[in-house]
Structure 1
C-alpha cells in the first residue's frame, strides 16, 4: 500500500445523484476516517476507522448506507458473511437490520467443528481462511462484508470459500476501497460495492 501522495477520495459509484440525507451520511462517514502516513511501515498511508467507531451517529450513518445499498440491490439476500476481523464490526449489525443471519469467516484455527478452508498469498507469505462446513447451505444467497478492500486477496479467498460451499455470492461490500491497488479486478466476476473510494 505504497502511496507517494495523498490520494483523492471520492464517493462510491452511483452516488452522483444522492439524496440530501444520503449525501449528509456520506459526508459524516468520510469525515470520521483519518489518515496516518507511514503506518505500519514507511510509504503506507493507513485509513483509520476508529473515529468512526467512536461516533455513534457516524457509525449509524455507515450502517444506513450499507443497508440502503443491500435493500435496493439485493433484497433476496439470506446471509451476511463477515471477514475476520473488522467485517465482524459491520456485518452482524447489518444482518440484524436486514433480518438475516450472520456467518463468521475466520483465520485458521479459530472455529470449532468441521471447517472448509482456503489459503491465499499475502505480501510476505501465506494465510488461510476458514468457515464452518454447515455455515451456508448450497444455493443460499450471501453478501460478503469487510471494512476495507486493498489488493483484494483476502476478499477473493472469502469468495472462493463461499463458492466451495456452493453459496450464491450476490456482492462483496466494504466501507473503504483503495482504488489505486485495483483489488476489485481480483474479485471478478464477483461484484464490489464500496461506500468510500480513494484513488
Structure 2
C-alpha cells in the first residue's frame, strides 16, 4: 500500500520526501537507477516528515521491535547477493516486529529479514519502506506480509 492510498494523497510531505531523494543513474551497474536516500537524511524537514509518517502509521499497532540489522540470512539483490545479520537475543519469541528499509525492489532484503525474525519466533506485522519499485514486484516475495511504501521513485523513465 502506498502512503497516498492511506489518506495521504496530496500530502505535500510526500512530494518533499520524493524530491529529497537523489537518483544516481547506472549505479551500481548499467541500467540501475539507484535511489540514494542520503540526501533525504541530510534534509532535516523531509527526514522528520518521513519519520512522522511512519510513527503515525504504527503508533497504535502494538509494535514491540523495529528490525534493523548475530544470526545471518543470505539473499539475492537485483545486482548481486548480500547477507543480513541480527544479534542473537535482540528479538524475543512472540514480539511484534516491523521491518523498515529504504527501498523495496526485488524484495530480497525484506524476505531475508522476515525469515530471520521468524526464525527467532517474532511475528512480522508489516514491512515499510520509503521508496517502492512496483514494476519489480518485490512484494510477491514477502510471504503475504503487508508492505507500506511512502513514494515511488523519480527518474526511472530516464534509464538506458
Q: Residue by residue, what CA displacement relative to the aligned partner does 1:156-189 show, whole Å, maximum 9, x if unpaired?
A: 0110000000001111111111111111111121
1:155 is matched with 110
**Stretches of structure 1 lacking an aligned partner (at least 5 in a row):** 1-10, 83-104, 106-114
2:63 is matched with 77
CA RMSD in angstroms comes to: 2.1
Matching of residue 18 in structure 1 with residue 8 in structure 2: yes
CA distance in 2, matches of 1:197, 1:19: 13
Give the secondary structure class of the aligned counterpart of 2:59. helix
CA distance in 2, matches of 1:41, 1:127: 16
Q: Please say if residues 12 and 197 of structure 1, whose CA atoms lie closer than 8 Å, have aligned partners that are also in contact.
A: no
Q: 1:44 Cα shift?
A: 1.3
**Stretches of structure 2 lacking an aligned partner (at least 5 in a row):** none
Higher relative contact order (CA 8 A, sep 6+): 2
2:30 is matched with 42
Following superposition, which runs of at least 4 residues in structure 1 exceed 6 angstroms of deviation? none
Q: 1:123 Cα shift?
A: 4.8
Q: 1:194 Cα shift?
A: 0.9
Q: 1:13 Cα shift?
A: 5.2
Q: How many residues get paired?
A: 153
Picking from 98, 101, 106, the partner of 1:146 is: 101
TM-score w.r.t. the length of structure 2 is: 0.85
CA distance in 1, matches of 2:78, 2:152: 22
Give the secondary structure class of the aligned counterpart of 1:189. coil
Q: 1:66 Cα shift?
A: 1.1
TM-score w.r.t. the length of structure 1 is: 0.69
Larger radius of gyration: 1
CA distance in 1, matches of 2:29, 2:67: 30
